[in-house]
Amino acid sequence: MSCLKDVPTLRGDNYTEWRKKVDLAFVCAEVDWVVNEPQPVRPTEPVREATDDDAVWEKKKKDHAPVEMLYSIENQKSVNANKNCMAFIKNTIENAIVGSISECTSVGELLTKIKSQCTGSSKTYPTQLIKQLVIENYTGGGHGIREHILRMSNMAAKLNPMDADLGIKPALLVHLVMASLPKEFETFVVNYNMSPGTWDIEKTIAMRVQQEDRLKASHGGSLNYVKDNKKKKYNQNSKGSPSKPQGKAQHQHQQKSFPVDKDTCLHCKKSGHYKKDCPD
């Protein structure tokens, strides 16, 4: 029960992570066997035949006694483990999900129904994962190329328990990783596409890390894959040359554009008033 705090609450869209934590808790508690092993079946009691004398009948009962005792021990062990595991599971699920699941006699049956409800009827989460895989791009920052590829591999792995038809094959995952890399890796991607054979995800990680290390070495130890395209802001005190003069500079620029009399409007070019008093 000390593992209960480490298990995320099952909301429906995090089934894979929830099930992984639940399985780990069962292994730590040494009750993981209860998920797959059926409940023990009571042995058939001996029957006294018409031809059995007292000695034979007593021997049958004596031989059956240890079998009955073993069943009682194993059955009680199974009942207790099922009870504890089902209580553990129900305390890690949202109330709405618990209420929608019918009563189960074993923890294995309960887990099967939960999986069916969370992965069989939900199409939104797989769609989100596939979309994220397609649009994923490596931008550097605080994460290295290894973490980027492992994150994509983890997203692909989440699709496998949901639907066998949605599983991302290793070769396709490698191509998705290639497509997510910035232009600095363009030559490397071209060389991979032209080379014979395919790579698995482990070799892809190793080769990409080596390539990134070479790029960093050639750029002084750091790389910025995303450039800031924001326009620079200029102020009057800046030494640069702004595209348009501001304030007094603009007024002086307009005054130098054409000769005007002292009382001539700079807007309508008529004399007798200034621009700030212009009726136009």
* Among candidate residues 120, 137, 166, the one where a domain is terminated: 120
**pLDDT given at position 253:** 46
* Among candidate residues 94, 120, 146, the one where a domain is terminated: 120
Distance of CA 139 to CAs 147, 148, 184, Å?
12, 9, 11
- Asked if residue 26 is part of any domain, the answer here is yes
> 245-263 burial, b for 16+ CB within 10 Å, e for fewer?
eeeeeeeeeeeeeeeeeee
Residues 202 and 168 in one domain: yes
Residues 162 and 77 in one domain: no
Residues 213 and 280 in one domain: no
**pLDDT given at position 165:** 58
Residues 196 and 270 in one domain: no
- Asked if residue 232 is part of any domain, the answer here is no
d(C-alpha 218, C-alpha 184), whole Å = 12
- Asked if residue 239 is part of any domain, the answer here is no
**pLDDT given at position 219:** 66
Residues 25 and 115 in one domain: yes
- Asked if residue 37 is part of any domain, the answer here is yes
Residues 129 and 106 in one domain: no
**pLDDT given at position 72:** 93
- Asked if residue 242 is part of any domain, the answer here is no
Residues 75 and 129 in one domain: no
Structural domain range at position 170:
124-218
Nearest by Cα to 40 from 76, 8, 6: 76
**pLDDT given at position 7:** 87
Residues 132 and 101 in one domain: no
**pLDDT given at position 225:** 59
Residues in a beta bridge with 93: 10
- What sections of the chain are H helices per DSSP? 15-28, 54-90, 95-99, 107-115, 124-135, 145-159, 170-179, 186-194, 201-218, 248-255
The torsion region of residue 37 among left (phi > 0), alpha (psi -120 to 50) and beta comes to beta
**pLDDT given at position 182:** 82
Residues 128 and 72 in one domain: no
- Asked if residue 226 is part of any domain, the answer here is no
How many domains in the chain?
A: 3
Q: What is the mean pLDDT of each run of 10 residues along the chain (280 residues)?
A: 78 83 90 89 89 90 92 93 91 83 87 79 66 80 75 77 63 84 81 77 79 74 52 46 48 49 77 80
- Asked if residue 231 is part of any domain, the answer here is no
- Asked if residue 250 is part of any domain, the answer here is no
* Among candidate residues 168, 201, 218, the one where a domain is terminated: 218
Residues 141 and 214 in one domain: yes
Residues 19 and 94 in one domain: yes
Residues 154 and 192 in one domain: yes
